A and B are shown apart, each in its own frame.
Chain A
Amino acid sequence: MGRVSLAGVTKRFGDVTAVDRLDLDVADQEFLVLLGPSGCGKSTALRMIAGLEELTEGTITIGDRVVNEIEPKDRDLAMVFQSYALYPHLSVRKNIEFPLRTRGVPKAQRDSQVAKAADALGLSDLLDRKPGQLSGGQRQRVALARAIVRDPEAFLMDEPLSNLDAKLRVQTRGELVELQRRLEATVIYVTHDQVEAMTMGDRIAIMNHGVLQQVGPPQEVYERPANLFVARFIGTPPMNTIPGELAGATAEVVIGVRPEHLHLTGSVEDGIDATVVVIESLGHERHVICRLAEGTQVIVRQATELVSPPMGDAVRLRFAPRDAHRFDAVTEQRIA
């Protein structure tokens, strides 16, 4: 029912290709995260699904309908915007009611649906306030209430948490996923924050320069990044990439090793020579930043129970072969 599918979707603004032949299938009740750095085309893709942006090429299907020529309002989608897009002159109640009014839902039914949506998001006491009198978190919940009030085919969310402070963001993350499960809703969620993507998505679709890089469940994307871009983009601290010859391979290969898979050793003969540059302690773990012989910096993630090496010390780095990701140095694609 709430299936959304994109085939060969392309958007060009003059000479700039914002989205390049994007193929993507979002299953009913799936939480799909579109992830990428700013300007990668993820928001444009979302706006094309919403109908706010026209396609240059390709087709978009929602449910069983090709929607290319269908007006935004007739696509039966709800969207949550980064700035929440609440109508500042209308009360919370009127804001939530808005999409129902425009669709001619009778008054009694409107009231009960608004009450239900407000209740689901804990807004029942705030219905008569104006958006200006609400906190950022409350506004965000009003935007969500406005989206869920009419039970659409799918929800589109454009960085809905990025205007919240860090603590509230973590809390809302969980609430959003819980809400999605409860409503059995299809969600397409755009973000540049890979932590949000990892924690919320059933699947993640990673984009860069308008091109889809990889689609898959978070764990799979983390464990088997399809290329160097994905490898570096997913994970904090990011994956270390070491020129092949340093790690005992050929120069045409780049070796990627996650910081938690790199180990420091004192005097074993096999290993990579490095110098300790900076030590960052985060309390529960430690990041030891080392410089390799030719200048590459790598991060080693250490448990705090281990003894910290002194700064400036010469060390050797080791990793298990099964933890090494191999990428083609030219195409940057994963080598199987």
Chain B
Amino acid sequence: MRADTRRGRRLRTIGAYAVLSFLALIVVFPIYITIVNSLLRPIDISSRPPSFFPFHPQWSSYSQAWNDGHMAKYLVNSFIVTTLITVGQVATAVLAGYAFAFLEFPFKRTLFLVFLATLMIPFEVTVVTNLDTINQLGWYDTYQGLAVPFLATGFGAFLVRQSFLQIPRELSDAAALDGYGHWRFMTRVAVPLARPAIAALAVFGFLGAWNQYLWPLLATKDDRLRTVQIGLKQLRSTQLNELNVTFAGAIIAVIPIVILLLLFQKHLVRGLTAGAVKG
């Protein structure tokens, strides 16, 4: 009887590992085969049966994507634009969140609703005119054209406000008595205390900005201004006979985000759940 349940338990554990491994294989396979293919010679990619392991890895595809495919330049562009957007989103969210959490002024509720209303308007709905605006400002094919429309989000202001509201009222009272004005209270007390939410917002903003596709496609034509995502499209159309280079480019585009996630995964989860909790 006892031995039976123990054996049953072990069987169930083995079964669980089998199911998990099978699922993991399915999820990770597309990425795995892309890495494999990026290391094969173009001719081996189409071999039948396919190669599932690069026995003679050809690292030249990466240098080709990096240099000839301009992935180096695309990465730099993506970093510049993404950094601008992330810093901008955090800054505007902290400022607005502070006003909504700690200050009293007429029409505060209305203005907060205005911020929330932006969440109801998908960016795709605004591209027609935004393209005109960017053109008129002379921002077509510029970093500011890629970044400025995204420097503020309703979600960011909401997240930071919620986090600021958690700070006990007595703390801001104490700071007022101790001689801290709004600016110093915000930078020295409120922001350090809201660091988890701000980090979540930053990771979220970075991820979203890095992966943008529609707007960079519309707002740039010059190859020197393309971001990684659009660069991949370019790479694919110009390196038709060298699929391994395209796959190397895809892997290069993923690596910065993998590093970011390894460092900040905790914050991403927190940002996501903050959204779920509000509902």
Contacts and interface: CB of A to CB of B under 8 A. Distances in A.
Direct contact between the two chains A and B in their complex (CB within 8 A): yes
Interface of A: 47, 50-52, 71-73, 75, 77-79, 81-83, 85, 87-89, 98-99, 102-103, 146
Most B CB atoms within 10 A — which of A47, A75, A79? A79
Prevailing SS type, chain B contact patch: helix
Interface in B32-91: none
A113 to B, nearest CB: 14
Given A72-B176, A87-B189, A89-B193, A102 B184 contact: yes
Given A83-B168, A85-B168, A77 B192 contact: no
A87 B172 CA distance: 10
Contacts of B176: 51-52, 71-73
Given A88-B193, A89-B192, A89-B193, A102 B170 contact: no
B174 interface: yes
Contacts of A72: 173, 176-177
Nearest to B189: A87
A327 to B, nearest CB: 39
Contact of B170 (A75, A77, A83): A83
A25 to B, nearest CB: 22
Nearest to B193: A89
Interface size range on B against A = 10 to 19
Nearest to A77: B177
A124 B278 CA distance: 44
B30 to A, nearest CB: 43
Interface of B: 168, 170-171, 173-174, 176-180, 184, 189, 192-193
A50 B170 contact: no
A329 B92 CA distance: 63
Contacts of B193: 88-89
B189 A73 contact: no
Contact of B179 (A79, A83, A99): A99
A82 B180 CA distance: 20
A197 B88 CA distance: 53
A82 B170 contact: yes
Contacts of A88: 193
A82 B170 CA distance: 9
Most A CB atoms within 10 A — which of B176, B177, B184? B177
A102 B179 contact: yes
A79 B184 contact: no
Prevailing SS type, chain A contact patch: loop
B192 A103 contact: no
B106 to A, nearest CB: 16
Given A98-B178, A99-B179, A87 B173 contact: no
A81 B178 contact: no
Nearest to B191: A89
A149 B5 CA distance: 68
A103 to B, nearest CB: 6
Contacts of A83: 168, 170
A88 B193 CA distance: 8
A50 B177 contact: yes
A312 B171 CA distance: 55
Contact of A52 (B168, B171, B173): B173
Contacts of A75: 177
A81 B179 contact: no
A78 B179 CA distance: 11
A331 B252 CA distance: 85
B178 A99 contact: yes
A118 to B, nearest CB: 17
Contacts of A89: 189, 192-193
Contacts of A98: 178
13 contacts: A50-B177, A71-B176, A73-B176, A79-B177, A81-B174, A83-B168, A85-B173, A87-B171, A87-B189, A88-B193, A89-B192, A89-B193, A102-B178
Contacts of B168: 83, 85
A79 B180 contact: no
Contact of B173 (A50, A71, A78, A99): A50
Contacts of B177: 50-52, 72-73, 75, 77-79, 99
A88 B177 CA distance: 17
Contacts of A79: 173-174, 177
Nearest to B180: A102
A85 B168 CA distance: 8
A262 to B, nearest CB: 43
A50 B170 CA distance: 12
Given A51-B176, A79-B173, 17 more contacts: A51-B177, A71-B176, A72-B176, A72-B177, A73-B177, A73-B178, A78-B177, A85-B168, A85-B170, A85-B173, A87-B171, A89-B189, A89-B192, A102-B179, A102-B180, A102-B184, A146-B178
